[in-house]
Amino acid sequence: MNRFFLVASMLLASVFLMAQTETGGYEFTVVKENPVTSIKNQANTGTCWSFAGVSFLESELLRMGKGTHDLSEMYIVRRNYEDQAVKYTRLHGSLNFGPGGSTADVIETLDEYGVVPESVYRGLEYGEDNHKHGEIDNILKNYVNGVIANRNRTLTPVWFKGYKGVLDAYFGEKPTSFQYNGKTYTPQSLAAELGLKSDNYVSLTSFTHHDFYTEFPVEIPDNWRWANSYNLPLEELIETIDNAIMNGYTVVWATDVSEVGFSRIGMAIVPDLEASENAGTDQAHWLGLTPGQRTSEIRDKIGKEFLKEKTITQEERQIGYDNYQTTDDHLMHIYGIAKDQHGNKYYMVKNSWGETGPYDGFWYASEAFVQYKTINVAVNKAALPKAVANKLK
């Protein structure tokens, strides 16, 4: 049954790839497509990091011949919410505290916390069918702020017990053992049997304010773990992503989706707002528009007609990051490469917003978008090109 479901899902994705979009602009042909599990929905939560990371792990299991598994995103969320609260209080509140996170929150906790099937831990103890975290997010933030504002200038010995009680009420108690596929597991023993180990994976980025081939914690608010990423030149970062995909691996991708080029209809590009080609036939009209009006017109054209994209350089990428134009908004799962009818390269991306848009939850991000707006990626170490692996030792 699981095998049938996976094959059907992949066939459906391929149909979308070969077809024109509903907006009539692009036709995509698969270059390389690796197996993914079904589209999930993070719904009204800020937990894309867990959905992307879990989707990546599920694809790793498919690649390793371990079968189709539906792992719990909310188990990982709940465990990380505990860690974040402890660090927040130790730093007297001088740390980002909220639902956001990074790939490290999934990958670096594998050995200690393990994994749990979705059937064992759904994290929906508050009377909803879909995830809605507005209430719990507010409660947790106010709770920890109340703890560190203690007038006695000390932490009460029961604060963490109370905090975990809130998590238990909303998400459910952490499972210590459970039945799965006819066997009894702990979260740690299931991860071990499935071959999921944190040491198998590496995080990569590309910025010039640190030396290349060294590691550093990318300076973004959601990297509250201060987890390190190895720093590569942009061309080697793209080479590594391509090498992974073409050799059967997938990639966790942290990026910026607040850009005009990230469309809700399944496209992510970097349109050149200054290019006369993007004006169409009415050049005089285009030249008379304000920057804001041009942006609005470009947004309306995305997916409907071909637009000239910016050429992305290492310097251009760094300027976007330094000026807060590139922000850490969203994590997704890159699982393939496709080309449009003009031969341009796109990355096939699995999102976690449910089966939405013309591709039922899948996105196509241009190479320029990935070059420009990638914060960091995580890959299996075996997916590194040999030359890159040697440089990183």
128-181 residue pLDDT tens: 999 999 999 999 999 999 999 986 778 889 999 999 999 999 999 999 999 999
Query: Which residues is 53 bridged to in the sheet?
Result: none
Q: Give Cβ neighbours of residue 112 (< 8 Å, ≥ 6 apart).
A: 188
pLDDT tens, position by position, 344-373: 999 999 999 999 999 999 999 999 999 999
pLDDT for the residue numbered 3: 47
First to last CA, the chain: 43
CA distances from 307 to 24, 114, 152 (A): 14, 45, 61
For residue range 252-290, list pLDDT tens digits in order.
999 999 988 999 889 999 998 777 677 665 665 666 777
Which regions of the chain does DSSP assign to beta strands (E)?
Answer: 28-33, 178-180, 183-185, 201-205, 215-217, 228-231, 251-255, 267-268, 330-340, 345-350, 362-366, 374-380
Angstrom distances, CA of residue 67 to CA of 9, 29, 63, 181, 187 = 14, 27, 9, 12, 18
- Please state, rounded to an integer, the average pLDDT across all residues of the chain: 91
pLDDT at 7: 46
Fold of 2-270+309-392: Cathepsin B; Chain A (3.90.70)
Task: Indicate the pTM of the whole model.
Answer: 0.92
